[in-house]
């Protein structure tokens, strides 16, 4: 009995440890390539991105998938994009061959996505 409880306690600690690190600083990933204002870096500025038309930031040279974009960014689309931009660009354009210059970020965990969305809201 004592033994079982020790194992349960270790398992619990391990889970807390893992979720703690995987959520930490998902927005830091984005910051490698993006500013959270309207200025461009490797990628376009993400300030005010929610509700903004995709691929339209002044002065940024988008790849073909985004320069032809005709959707507005909402939270659902941003979640898909930060999980897998490669698949998302195909889905949003309806073109199986569409590509984006942004590599997939694998931020697929809803809690980590919430952190990024909070940062995007400013």
Contact set with ligand HEC (CB under 6 A) = 26, 29-30, 32-34, 42-44, 46, 49, 54-55, 57, 62-63, 65-66, 73, 78, 81-82, 100-103, 105, 107, 116
State how far the alpha carbon of 100 is from the alpha carbons of 27, 91, 105, in Å: 19, 12, 12
Q: How far is the CB of 65 from ligand HEC (least distance, A)?
A: 5
Complex with ligand HEC: residue 39 or 43, whichever CB lies closer:
43
Complex with ligand HEC: residue 22 or 32, whichever CB lies closer:
32
Q: How far is the CB of 96 from ligand HEC (least distance, A)?
A: 16
* Cα atoms in the Cβ-side hemisphere of radius 13 Å centred on 63: 14
Determine the Cα–Cα distance for residues 57 and 80; give it in Å rounded to an integer. Answer: 20
Q: How far is the CB of 107 from ligand HEC (least distance, A)?
A: 4
Yes or no: say if 70 and 59 are a contact pair by the CB < 8 Å rule: no
Q: How far is the CB of 69 from ligand HEC (least distance, A)?
A: 6
Cα end-to-end span (Å), the chain: 50
């Amino acid at each position: 009995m004592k033994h079982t409880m020790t194992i349960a306690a270790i398992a619990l600690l391990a889970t807390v440890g893992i979720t703690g690190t995987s959520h930490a600083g998902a927005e830091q990933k984005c910051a490698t390539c993006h500013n959270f204002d309207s200025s461009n870096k490797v990628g376009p500025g993400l300030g005010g991105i929610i509700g903004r038309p995709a691929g339209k930031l002044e002065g940024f040279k988008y790849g073909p998938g985004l320069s032809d974009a005709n959707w507005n960014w909402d939270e659902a689309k941003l979640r898909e994009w930060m999980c897998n931009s490669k698949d998302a660009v195909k889905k949003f354009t309806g073109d199986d061959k569409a590509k984006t210059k942004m590599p997939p970020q694998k931020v697929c965990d809803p809690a980590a996505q919430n952190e990024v969305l909070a940062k995007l809201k400013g």
